[in-house]
Amino acid sequence: MVSNIWKPDINFEFPSHFACNKHVRMSYEFLNPESEKYLDWLIYSKFLDGCFCLHCSLFGQFETDFNRKIECLVKKPLCNWIVRSRNFKNHSSSHSHLVSVGIYNTIISQIKGQSQGIDEANKSEILTIYNSNYTKIKPLMKTIIHCGLYNLALRGHRDDAKYIEDPNHNAGIYQGLLQFRVDAGDKILEDHFRTAPKNKTQRSKTVQNQMINTCKKYIQSKIVQKIKRVKFFLSLLLKQLIFLIKLNFL
């Protein structure tokens, strides 16, 4: 339907009609690639003796976009050759036509292997976002784990966003360690804190609690895996409980 469209040749005789006291017919110049009036979206039906827009007929949004002035090239053929040039011009400049052309070109490029399919493009975009978020959250999670391993309290007197960079307030060890990472040359973290909206820096006490809870669930899953592999797990369980207490996660 896209690539095998029938096209009349230069010797094709278009039917003639009598209108406005003269004989009129379709002109080959609109279908001839070598003509200045050539329209690459225009196709001709010899059975209906009328023209359609290939792009809009296949991909047009009929319900919302098209009106009576241009539906003759979409829902029904254009057969009025007296006002054909005006209809062609109005249609080619319409928003709906431009959208359909974009969809058509995208599909053609995919068929020819010149661009990714929609599913592959979405997958690639999701993977890019995932990798970007991972590199940003990794130093934050490492800092949480570091505080847990050494039994360090994360919070300060004021660890809200407006107090983090205020030297007159103690924002806590966690915020201090994050700033230390930035000062030590962590460009990814520095760029994240500099460009992210204030409500998306992921360093608030709420996010801290979420990451602590994630660590707890991970440790618990590892304990369960070890218990499932041994018959007598009481001594092992006690060791793990002592380890969790040291980490301050219970």
* Tens of pLDDT, residues 52-103: 888 888 887 654 444 554 567 788 888 777 667 777 877 887 778 888 888 8
Residues sharing a CB contact under 8 Å with residue 50, sequence separation 6 or more, in sequence order: 44, 76, 77, 78, 79
- pLDDT per position as a tens digit, 4-52: 778 888 888 888 776 666 677 788 888 888 888 888 888 888 888 888 8
Q: Which two tokens stand for residue 231?
A: 């018959």
Per-residue pLDDT at 232: 61
The residue extents of the domains of the chain are 17-111, 135-247
User: Residues of the chain with pLDDT > 70: what percent?
Assistant: 76
**DSSP state for residue 15 in the 8-state scheme:** P
Is the pTM above the cut of 0.75? no
pLDDT over 90 at 198, yes or no: no
Q: How far apart are CA 26 and CA 142, in angstroms?
A: 73
**Judging by DSSP bridges, how do beta strands 17-19 and 22-24 pair with one another?**
antiparallel
Per-residue pLDDT at 250: 45
Per-residue pLDDT at 19: 63
Region 102-122: mean pLDDT is 72
